[in-house]
Structure 1
Amino acid sequence: MRENILLFSNAYHAFILNEIEYASRSFKRVVLLCPYHQELDKVCKRMKNVEYLYEECDYRINLKNLVLALTVFDRVALKQILLAFKNKKITRSYLYIIFSYMLSTVILKKVMKKIISESGEWIALSLWFAQTAYAFSRIKGNYKELKIFSLAHSFEVDDKKNKYINYSFKKMCHDNLENIFFISRNVMEEYIQNHVKKQFWRDDILSVYYLGTIKKQQGDCQMSVDGKFRLVSCSHCIEVKRIDLIIEALGHIEDIEIEWIHIGDGKLFNSLKKQAESLKRDNIRIKWLGKKNNDFVHQFFVTNAVDAFINTSFSEGIPVSLMEAMAYGIPVIATDVGGNSEIVFNDINGFLLSENPEAKEVAASIRKLFNMSTDNRKNLRKNSAEIFERSFNADKLRPEFYSLLKGKKEIV
Structure 2
Amino acid sequence: MPNSKLVIFTDSYPYGSAEPFLANELEYLAVAFGDILIIPLNYGTSKKAQSLPANVTCTKPILNSTKNKAELAKRGLLNCAPIGKYLGELLRGKVTSSAKAMWSWSIGLLLSRAILSSKQVSNVLEDDTYTTLYFYWGVRSSFIVPFISENCKNIAVRFHGSDTYEETNGGYIPLRSQQLAKVNKCYFCSEYGRKYVESKYPFVTKKAEIARLGVHDRGICQPSTDGVFRILTLSNMVPLKRLELLVEALMQASIRIEWTHIGDGETWEVVTSAALKLPQNVKATFLGRQPNAQVIEYLTKNPTDLFVNVSSSEGVPVSIMEALSMGIPVLATAVGGSPEIVDDTVGKLVSANVSAVELMHEIEDIAKHRSYETLRSNARNRWAERCDASALYQQFCQSILNI
With structure 2 as the length reference, what TM-score do the two structures score? 0.89
Q: Which residue of 2 aligns with 1:362?
A: 359
- Is the Cα–Cα contact under 8 Å of residues 326 and 384 in structure 1 kept in the other structure? yes
Q: Which residue of 1 aligns with 2:146?
A: 137
Change (3 A) 1:353 1:11: same
Inter-partner Cα distance in structure 2 for 1:364 and 1:122: 54
1:61 shift after superposition: 2.1
What's the % identity of the aligned pairs? 24
- Is the Cα–Cα contact under 8 Å of residues 111 and 141 in structure 2 kept in the other structure? no
Inter-partner Cα distance in structure 1 for 2:105 and 2:126: 31
Q: Which residue of 1 aligns with 2:82?
A: 72
Task: Please tell me whether residue 289 in structure 1 is matched to residue 282 in structure 2.
Answer: no
1:397 shift after superposition: 1.0
- Is the Cα–Cα contact under 8 Å of residues 80 and 166 in structure 1 kept in the other structure? no
Residue by residue over 1:316-369, the C-alpha shift from the partner in whole angstroms, topping out at 9 and shown as x without a partner, is 0011110111111000000000000001011x1010010111011211111111
Inter-partner Cα distance in structure 2 for 1:63 and 1:265: 29
Change (3 A) 1:404 1:343: same
Change (3 A) 1:87 1:5: same
Task: Please tell me whether residue 159 in structure 1 is matched to residue 161 in structure 2.
Answer: no
Change (3 A) 1:10 1:253: closer
Inter-partner Cα distance in structure 1 for 2:24 and 2:123: 23
Q: Which residue of 1 aligns with 2:210?
A: 208
Change (3 A) 1:40 1:127: farther
Write the letter of the residue equivalent to 1:237: M
Inter-partner Cα distance in structure 1 for 2:186 and 2:114: 22
Give the match's secondary structure for 2:30: helix
Q: Which residue of 1 aligns with 2:16?
A: none
Inter-partner Cα distance in structure 2 for 1:360 and 1:278: 17
Q: How many residues align?
A: 388
1:9-408 to 2 correspondences below 5 Å: 9-12=10-13, 13-34=19-40, 35-36=42-43, 41-44=49-52, 47-56=53-62, 60-68=71-79, 71-80=81-90, 82-89=93-100, 94-107=105-118, 109-113=121-125, 115-116=127-128, 120=129, 122-141=131-150, 144=151, 146-163=153-170, 165-166=172-173, 169-193=175-199, 195-197=200-202, 201-215=203-217, 217=218, 219-254=219-254, 256-279=255-278, 281-346=279-344, 348-373=345-370, 376-407=371-402
Change (3 A) 1:399 1:140: farther
1:147 shift after superposition: 1.3
Change (3 A) 1:147 1:93: closer
Write the letter of the residue equivalent to 1:196: Y
Inter-partner Cα distance in structure 2 for 1:385 and 1:56: 40
Which consecutive aligned stretches of 4+ in structure 1 deviate over 6 angstroms post-superposition? none
Change (3 A) 1:62 1:404: same
Inter-partner Cα distance in structure 1 for 2:102 and 2:152: 39
1:157 shift after superposition: 2.5
1:177 shift after superposition: 1.2
Change (3 A) 1:87 1:308: closer
1:382 shift after superposition: 0.7
1:309 shift after superposition: 0.4
1:229 shift after superposition: 0.6
> Comparing 103-112 with 306-315, which one deviates more in the overlay?
103-112
Residue by residue over 1:193-218, the C-alpha shift from the partner in whole angstroms, topping out at 9 and shown as x without a partner, is 2x124xxx442111111011233x3x
- Is the Cα–Cα contact under 8 Å of residues 8 and 135 in structure 2 kept in the other structure? yes
Inter-partner Cα distance in structure 1 for 2:47 and 2:328: 27
Inter-partner Cα distance in structure 1 for 2:194 and 2:259: 33
Inter-partner Cα distance in structure 2 for 1:364 and 1:308: 14
Residue by residue over 1:250-283, the C-alpha shift from the partner in whole angstroms, topping out at 9 and shown as x without a partner, is 11222x111111111112112211111123x121
1:76 shift after superposition: 3.7
Inter-partner Cα distance in structure 2 for 1:356 and 1:104: 40
Change (3 A) 1:20 1:57: farther
Write the letter of the residue equivalent to 2:34: K
Change (3 A) 1:239 1:303: same
Change (3 A) 1:310 1:113: closer
1:16 shift after superposition: 2.7
Give the match's secondary structure for 2:78: helix
- Is the Cα–Cα contact under 8 Å of residues 7 and 39 in structure 2 kept in the other structure? yes
Write the letter of the residue equivalent to 2:164: V
Consecutive unaligned residues of structure 2, counting only runs of 5 or more, are: 14-18
